[in-house]
Amino acid sequence: MPEQPAGSRPTLEAVAARAGVSRATASRVVNGGAGVRRPLADKVREAVEELGYVPNHAARSLVTRQSGAVAVIIAEPEFRIFSDPFFEQQVRGISRELTAHDSQLVLLWVEGPGDYERIARYLGGGHVDGALAFSLHDDDGLPALVHRSKVPTVYGGRPGAGAAAVPYVDCDNRGGARTAVRHLVGLGRERVAHIAGPRDQTSAIDRADGYHDVLFDADPALTARGDFTVDSGARAMAQLLERAPDLDAVFAANDLMAAGALRVLRERGRRVPQDVAVVGFDDMVTVAAAADPPLTTVRQDVEGMGRLMVRLLMRVLNDGGDRGPGAPASVIMPTELVRRASA
């Protein structure tokens, strides 16, 4: 039965009094108990239990100068955000790992460049110990801004060439693309087309590079560009069909565009996979498995990437500013080809 003054939570002071020790000792026990003799420590823990003591985060944070929170900066352009469970899985991974590190997740949703000022102020305000951000377009100003705020940050996805050398976590876009294209070639396809993503996104670039790694002398007519949306995939497919009616396979830089391609192929009477084999990328749950026919695609462990981002950040945070053995290396995660009916 707690016996503090009603309406307010018990303080360390109260715990100390009840345990018959000083506040200093009580504090030590609450924070792990190193250097406190057993019987005393037990008495304190008992008092904590009885009083239902929960440390006041603000007070602790005030003196330790640590917030115990990490900002997750979301700045995806709308078209991607709304149509992509990707984000969700990644945040889930981040959340899980953060919990394991006793840290809180503060979500910062960026409403376009006009909002950067606010983000900068927030980060500069010392509300969070570190930040996790996602790389977008090459010309985005966010990374520079985050960098200036001095808050340790780890990126999801390889930042564009413009950005400074920052730790990031990405999947092996290029290798995954190679696997996809090799699979198509292994199926005996001889005219493998590529529906590429936006020029200014590293994931799209890397996937296109993977395509060219395998098909280094590919006919330029076999490549069309989309913007990662279903419609753009459909348009690209239509273009390709016009430019190269003899194509017998398509590697799309993501599942959404592959779905668009599938639609156009069906409309034009091309059978998948008999006439044209199709491979996507991402293994987006709602899209790939639900497509008709179900999509063969390249899977990446998005949740795992989220977790890894947190681990990397924690390492940076623990190394402190001492720059340890250099900034922690970035991590590239493997991908996996998921075979379904489309190729």
Give the footprint of its own copies on this chain (CB under 8 A): 9, 52, 54-59, 61-62, 67, 69, 72, 81-85, 87-89, 91-92, 95-96, 99, 104-109, 111, 118, 121, 124-127, 230, 256, 259, 263, 266, 285-287, 290, 292
- Partner that binds at residue 48, options DNA, its own copies, none, CB closer than 5 to 8 Å by kind: none
Q: CA-to-CA distance for 84 and 283, rounded, in angstroms?
A: 11
> Strands 168-171 and 153-156: what pairing?
parallel
Cα–Cα distances in angstroms (integers) from residue 275 to residues 202, 250, 269, 300, in the given order: 31, 11, 9, 28
Q: CA-to-CA distance for 239 and 262, rounded, in angstroms?
A: 14
Q: Where are the beta strands (DSSP E) in the chain?
A: 69-74, 104-109, 130-134, 153-156, 168-171, 192-196, 223-225, 249-252, 277-279, 297-300, 331-333, 335-338
Stretch that binds DNA, among 61-69, 141-149, 154-162, 174-182 (CB under 7 A): 61-69
With CB under 7 A as the contact rule, the residue among 1, 6, 7, 63 that binds DNA is 63
Total of residues contacting DNA (CB under 7 A)? 26
Nearer to its own copies, 68 or 160 (CB): 68
Q: CA-to-CA distance for 265 and 57, rounded, in angstroms?
A: 58
Q: CA-to-CA distance for 289 and 286, rounded, in angstroms?
A: 7
- 4 scored as a contact of DNA (CB under 7 A): no
With CB under 7 A as the contact rule, the residue among 1, 6, 7, 35 that binds DNA is 35
- CB neighbour class for 211 (10 Å; exposed up to 12, middle 13-18, buried from 19): buried
- Partner that binds at residue 24, options its own copies, DNA, none, CB closer than 5 to 8 Å by kind: DNA
Cβ 203 to DNA shortest distance, Å: 41
Distant-in-sequence, close-in-space partners of 299: CB < 8 Å, separation ≥ 6 = 282, 283, 335, 336, 337, 338
Cβ 108 to DNA shortest distance, Å: 21
- 40 scored as a contact of DNA (CB under 7 A): yes
Enter the tokens of residue 143. 């990374």
- 59 scored as a contact of DNA (CB under 7 A): yes
Residue 195 per-residue DSSP state: E
- Partner that binds at residue 257, options its own copies, DNA, none, CB closer than 5 to 8 Å by kind: none
CB neighbour burial string for 133-166, b if at least 16 within 10 angstroms, e if fewer:
bbbbbbebebbebbeebebbbbbbbbbbeebeeb
With CB under 7 A as the contact rule, the residue among 6, 7, 8, 188 that binds DNA is 8
Residue 296 neighbours by CB distance under 10 Å: 25
- Partner that binds at residue 293, options its own copies, DNA, none, CB closer than 5 to 8 Å by kind: none
In DSSP terms, 296 is beta-bridged to: 279
Cβ 132 to DNA shortest distance, Å: 25
Backbone angles phi, psi at 193, to 5 degrees: -95, 165
Nearer to its own copies, 244 or 317 (CB): 317
- Partner that binds at residue 271, options DNA, its own copies, none, CB closer than 5 to 8 Å by kind: none
Cβ 50 to DNA shortest distance, Å: 15
- 22 scored as a contact of DNA (CB under 7 A): yes
With CB under 7 A as the contact rule, the residue among 17, 42, 60, 213 that binds DNA is 60
Which residues make up the interface to DNA (CB under 7 A)?
A: 8, 11-13, 20-25, 27-28, 30-31, 35-37, 40, 53, 55-56, 59-60, 62-64
